[in-house]
């Protein structure tokens, strides 16, 4: 029996306005137009309370990779709820789902990873990493090494530590962040630069800003560098080819731990199991969340390399950290079923060899539109840049809100993507069919036409 009452859209909107504070939302402006109420979903489509069908080009929030309505995941949750709905992994206990999932995840991860610490979300996973990184260097007899370097415009979550690791200025400003010991360097966003360097030169130059920062703060004070393989929330920023090899060289040279934030890129999105596989980096930590359970239940965690885990285990004593829901059995059972589903349906290979290249080609063709200044897509993670002039790549006036105009028109046409300023981003489910990819791109083109008319009217 459904636990949720049936109400009209208006009733939901009214209750929502009265009682519900939303994440990352300007409530005053929301209350003027009311929320879009999403009531159900199936495959790659979500449905709102008016019955409108919308192709979910964002996989929820980059997470519903297996698509909606997957019976395998529903069955896994139901069975685990009956068997053991909750037990903790504290006090020298464990249960089969957490053990099984840890072992499965290390199995598909790069060879330096053999151990997993569970959390409830990506933000919590990054909090865990701040604690573990600093504990590691204490145990190594270098307690001066507590500084973590991150990047401007990075997104690593929204807890105090994760938002500090992130590089979003408005988030920092609102709450007196970052916490001490976290500093930021440039992001490898070539399109957003003055473009006086070639992409390859720019990739090297931004990687070297990490080295400069290390020298500035003192190499023996730096604990780690954290980065998303491809920046997601910042606008799907694909680094130039020269970037990651140089970052890896710098981390190696200064003995700095590399944290590859795989919350979006993990579990197949780039056509490899992890972003580290795609860019051939050798991270010491990989936080994950989102796609591990296809978002069906909240779960995150941290893959911890042997370099760190061996020290924690051998010399660490008790690590005073963990969450009530670290390794929640039902969330773990769903994640296990989700990884099996991805394996059984060869979804990672499908992104690499089939739907990835298929959508990428169509996406590139959007670059022919006069409003589009740049397109990029790796695996099923893409972006394009709305510009006023294709020749000079000049942007529209900020006040015109070109990205938001496009996004709002697109959703009317039945496709959901996100706007980061005037950068439009997408990350559709892995099960997207060719016909659905066609639909997504055709509607995008039509919306570009409508947007152009509106913005130049």
Binding site for ligand PLP (CB under 6 A): 121-123, 155-157, 228, 232-233, 261, 263-264, 289-290, 300
CA separation for the pair 419, 407 (Å, rounded):
6
Q: How far is the CB of 408 from ligand PLP (least distance, A)?
A: 23
**For ligand PLP, the closer CB: 145 or 290:** 290
- In the chain, count H helices and then E strands: 17, 15
H or E, element range at 372: strand 372-378
Q: How far is the CB of 71 from ligand PLP (least distance, A)?
A: 25
> Of 161 and 410, which has the nearer Cβ to ligand PLP?
161
CB of 124 to ligand PLP, least distance (A): 7
- Nearer to ligand PLP (CB atom), residue 246 or residue 261: 261
DSSP for 93-130, please give it: ---HHHHHHHHHHHHHS-TTEEEEEEESSHHHHHHHHH
- CA 262, CA 275: separation in Å to the nearest integer? 7
Residue sitting closest to ligand PLP (CB): 122
Distance in Å, CB of 297 to ligand PLP, minimum: 12
**For residues 199 and 232, which CB has a smaller minimum distance to ligand PLP in the complex?**
232
Tell the burial category of 171 from Cβ atoms under 10 Å away from its Cβ (0-12, 13-18, 19+). Answer: middle
CA dist., res. 122 & res. 128, Å (int):
10
Give the nearer residue to ligand PLP in terms of CB position, either 269 or 350: 269
> For ligand PLP, which is the closer residue by CB, 238 or 289?
289
Tell the smallest beta-carbon distance from residue 457 to ligand PLP (Å).
36
Residue 317 burial by Cβ neighbours in a 10 Å radius (0-12, 13-18, 19+):
exposed
CB atoms inside a 10 Å sphere around CB 40: 12
Which CB atom, from 300 or from 373, has the smaller least distance to ligand PLP?
300
Angle at 215 between CA 211 and CA 220, to 5 degrees: 110
Give the burial class of 72: count Cβ atoms within 10 A of its Cβ; 0-12 exposed, 13-18 middle, 19 or more buried: middle
Structure tokens belonging to residue 429: 């489910």
What gap in Å lies between CA 42 and CA 416, rounded to an integer?
Answer: 15
Pairing verdict, β 300-305 and 45-48: unpaired
Dihedrals phi, psi of 320, to nearest 5 degrees: -80, 70
CB of 427 to ligand PLP, least distance (A): 10
Q: How far is the CB of 233 from ligand PLP (least distance, A)?
A: 6
Closer Cβ to ligand PLP, 290 or 418, answer by number: 290
Closest distance to ligand PLP from the beta carbon of 61 (Å): 7
């Amino acid at each position: 029996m459904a636990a949720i009452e049936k109400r009209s859209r208006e009733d939901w909107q009214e209750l929502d306005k009265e009682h519900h504070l939303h994440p990352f939302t300007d409530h005053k402006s929301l209350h003027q137009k009311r929320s879009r109420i999403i009531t159900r979903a199936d495959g790659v489509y979500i449905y709102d309370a008016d019955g409108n069908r919308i192709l979910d080009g964002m996989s929820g929030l980059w997470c519903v990779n297996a698509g909606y309505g997957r019976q395998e995941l529903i069955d896994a949750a139901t069975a685990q709820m009956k068997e053991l709905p909750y037990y903790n992994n504290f006090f020298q206990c464990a249960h089969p789902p957490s053990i099984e999932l840890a072992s499965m995840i290390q199995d598909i991860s790069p060879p330096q990873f053999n151990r997993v610490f569970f959390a409830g979300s990506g933000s919590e996973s990054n909090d865990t990493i701040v604690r573990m990184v600093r504990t590691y260097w204490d145990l190594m007899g270098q307690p001066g090494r507590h500084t973590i370097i991150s990047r401007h415009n990075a997104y690593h979550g929204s807890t105090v530590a994760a938002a500090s690791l992130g590089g979003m200025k408005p988030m920092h400003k609102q709450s007196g962040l970052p916490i001490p010991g976290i500093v930021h360097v440039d992001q490898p966003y070539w399109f957003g630069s003055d473009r006086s360097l070639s992409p390859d030169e720019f990739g090297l130059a931004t990687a070297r800003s990490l080295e400069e920062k290390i020298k500035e703060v003192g190499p023996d004070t730096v604990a780690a560098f954290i980065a998303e393989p491809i920046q997601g929330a910042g606008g799907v920023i694909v680094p130039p080819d020269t970037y990651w090899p140089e970052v890896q060289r710098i981390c190696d040279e200064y003995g700095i731990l590399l944290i590859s934030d795989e919350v979006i890129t993990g579990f197949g999105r780039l056509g490899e199991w992890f972003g580290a596989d795609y860019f051939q980096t050798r991270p010491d930590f990989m936080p994950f969340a989102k796609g591990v359970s296809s978002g069906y239940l909240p779960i995150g965690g941290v893959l911890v390399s042997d370099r760190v885990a061996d020290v924690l285990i051998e010399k660490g004593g008790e690590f005073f950290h963990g969450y009530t829901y670290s390794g929640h059995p039902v969330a773990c059972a769903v994640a296990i079923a989700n990884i099996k589903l991805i394996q059984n349906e060869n979804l990672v290979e499908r992104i690499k060899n089939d739907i990835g290249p298929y959508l990428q080609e169509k996406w590139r063709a959007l670059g022919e539109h006069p409003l589009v200044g740049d397109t990029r897509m790796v695996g099923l993670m893409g972006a394009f840049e709305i510009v006023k002039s294709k020749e000079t790549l000049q942007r529209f006036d900020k006040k015109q809100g070109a990205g938001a105009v496009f996004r709002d028109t697109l959703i009317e046409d039945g496709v959901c993507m996100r706007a980061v300023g005037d950068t439009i981003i997408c990350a559709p489910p892995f099960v997207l069919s060719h016909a659905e990819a066609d639909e997504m791109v055709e509607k995008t083109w039509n919306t570009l036409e409508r947007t152009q008319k509106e913005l130049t009217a």
